[in-house]
Amino acid sequence: LGVLGLCLAAGAVAQVRLGLKPLDRLRRELEAVRAGQRERVPDSQPAEVRPLAAEINALLDQNAAQLAQARTHVANLAHGLKTPLATLSLALSEPGRDPDGRLAHLVGSLDRGVRHHLRRARSAALTGATRIRTDLAGPVADLASALERLHAEKGVRITSAIPPGLAAACDPQDLDEMLGNLIDNACTWCTRAVRVSADAAGSDIVVRIEDDGPGLGPEALAAVAQRGRRLDETVPGHGFGLAITTELAELYGGGLELDRSAMGGLRARLRLPG
């Protein structure tokens, strides 16, 4: 009877472990979704957990749709308010437009309030349950092709050295905006050559955008990242690209650093989570 009891206990343990194995597999797949390694739980599941997997995928789809809708509203609000405020701020900075500075102060307060709430909304979207991982090689190649055509009169050539499979834990739209600002800035100031490279640095990804232009001195490097600050008014633009890129990078826990490139011009080092 004792031997029979041991056999029955061992059989029960084996049956429980075997029965719970699909749930353990589902747990690992959910961990991969939360880490951004996959977007959905695979549909090929044992019959016992297939309805649970279907409900989880439906919940993920609903969450993604709500997140996309929220991001659309945030983007619309950003375009609807930030650009007019920035234009108004630049207009008031002209001599004689605001003698006592009261209007500029009010516009600055309004701008800070708008940016604060937009930052909170965007930060809440970025810290959700899932984190999208975006491959770097594709967006860089697309931007390089578009910006070479845009700066064709200068004969700009953009070279890229991105390791295959290197990805950043960043939304594709935000990644395009950050890389687009930096590469376009390099194309504007370069003589002819721009180089984009990236590699992993621990748990982060570092993207370097370099050009062969005149570069910047230490004081200019400190000033150029300020919102709306431009060092050459003869070049089209409003000077908000680097500041916006810095804000986006910081929302993801990264950052932007500017220094001198070995090519002679500016080097922008964009750090993002990997």
Is residue 261 within 8 A of residue 267, CB to CB? The reply is: yes
CA distance 64 to 172: 14
269 and 153 both lie in a single domain: yes
Q: By residue range, what is the domain housing residue 219?
A: 134-273
Cα–Cα distance for residue pair 142/156, rounded to 1 Å: 15
- Kindly give the confidence (pLDDT) of every residue in the chain, 274 residues in length, as a single tens digit, with 9 standing for 90 and above: 888 888 888 878 777 776 667 788 888 888 877 766 777 788 877 777 788 888 888 888 887 777 767 666 766 676 677 667 777 777 777 787 777 778 877 877 777 777 666 666 665 555 554 457 788 888 899 889 888 888 888 888 999 989 888 888 887 878 888 898 899 888 988 888 999 999 888 888 999 999 988 877 666 666 665 544 444 443 444 345 677 788 788 878 888 888 888 888 889 999 988 7
Same domain, 101 and 37: yes
Clarify whether residues 104 and 17 are in a common domain: yes
Distances (CA, A) of 6 to 2, 9, 18, 115: 6, 5, 18, 68
If we measure between CA atoms, which residue out of 175, 180, 177 comes closest to residue 135? 175
Looking at the structure of the chain, the number of domains it has is 2
Helix, coil or strand: residue 115: helix
244 and 268 together in one domain: yes
Burial class (CB in 10 A: 0-12, 13-18, 19+), 121: middle
- Assess whether 3 and 126 both reside in one domain: yes
Residue 160 shares a structural domain with residue 210:
yes
